[in-house]
Amino acid sequence: MTPSARVQAAIELLDAIISSARDGGPAADTLIARYFKDRRYAGSRDRRVVRDHVYDAVRRAAERPESGRAAMVGLARERPELVALFDGSTHAPAPIADDEVGSAAGVVPRWIDPLLAVPVERDALLGRAPVDLRVNRLKADPDRVAPLYPDAVRLSGLPDALRLPEGAPVEQSDPWKWGQVEVQDAGSQLISAACGAQPGMTVIDLCAGAGGKTLALASAMAGKGMLIAADTIRSRLSRLDPRAERAGATFIETLLLDQGHEAGALESLHGRADVVLVDAPCSGTGTWRRNPEARWRLTPARLDRLVAEQARILDFAAPLLAPGGLLVYATCALTDREGRDQVRAFLARHVGWRAEPFDAPMGRPHGDGLLLTPGHDGTDGFYFARLRRAA
């Protein structure tokens, strides 16, 4: 592909990503993979350059652009070397007119900016993310694994965490193949640690997804006790089994729930759990540095639905706890509606519960919980709180 053809390819991909974001379709990575699967003539350098163009344009635009061309023109206005590639040649985009307007640059969509928690450092929300690993104590010891990654940095207060540079090829390493490490953001590891899971406990990960935090809980439990990973999306939950097999966490039980009817399916567990983790579905504002196109998918109406769903999940999670049990509520979101305000509303609805402080090596107190942000903590953005049921 010529340099100009690569720009045109990026425009075509951006058109598909914009449409998919608007209509709730596949993610950008999926669309890019499909695009090049149908274009075998594109070499590895072509794919890399096109992908860089696409994600540079995505990261630059907080608001969803009108078109892929608008997104690339906006990027080209800041990079004169790209303007020259709009030359109208074969497989190239048409020249940029003097008065052609590209997409505006920004970090945070205007409508959601006032909703973000006040301490959030906006400019850091799209910074490049490092690769964080969690050493799996079911199979390995951090002191023995760390030397196998010469570029690894140990993280204070998180004894199982290793941090590698962005783009480190972890899945090609032996410790990953042997199940000795898992890729997991340090903030996510902290939330798992806040659960205080111990061997012999009954622990429920109520919104387990593909099971990243479930596996961290399994490691803390040393494979002993009852650990249930529940979710309403079969495709996500099905990804846990092979991960658990590789990690040696075969004692995990999975439970597929029917959305809207979870309370009935969980009734037999009422009053039995020592710990329940609710890593609730959320806006994903804390993960924009890994998934910048998520800004184009979020709308005020969708946020309203998510906030209502979070409250509903908390309400059917609460009866699962035994007296004195711990409910940990977490979101990878940085809006107060999903974090601080959601916890306050829960405590107002439920008598006999209290927020419990947690001595954490990172994060800042915010409301009744802790706020983690990329700018302050170098992690993804999270809000979490520990809620204790009266004994």
Give the count of beta carbons closer than 10 Å to the beta carbon of residue 386. 23
Cα–Cα distance measured from residue 65 to residue 14, given in angstroms and rounded to the nearest whole number: 9
Short-list 93, 3, 77, 107, CA closest to 45: 3
Give the residues across from 12 on adjacent strands: none
- State the alpha helices, DSSP H only, in the chain: 3-23, 28-37, 44-60, 68-78, 80-83, 142-145, 174-177, 186-194, 212-220, 234-237, 240-247, 262-265, 294-297, 300-317, 340-349, 374-377
CA distances, 231 to each of 82, 118, 134, 204, 317 (Å)? 45, 32, 23, 11, 12
CA distance 57 to 77: 11
282 catalytically annotated: no
Q: Write the single-letter amino acid at 361.
A: P
| Catalytic member of 195, 207, 282, 332 | 332
**Alpha-carbon gap, residue 183 to 176, rounded angstroms:** 9
CA nearest neighbour of 202 among 257, 268, 140? 268
User: b vs e for 224-249, b when ≥16 Cβ sit within 10 Å of the residue's Cβ?
Assistant: ebbbbbbbbeeeebeebeebbebbbb
CB 368 within 8 A of CB 355: yes
Residues 6+ apart with CB under 8 A from 289: 125, 126, 127, 128, 129, 374, 380
**Rounded to an integer, what distance in angstroms lies between the CA atom of residue 332 and that of residue 231?**
17
What distance in Å separates the CA atoms of residue 162 and residue 180, rounded to the nearest whole number? 12
Q: Cβ of 268: how many Cβ atoms within 10 Å?
A: 7
Which residues are catalytic, by number?
A: 332
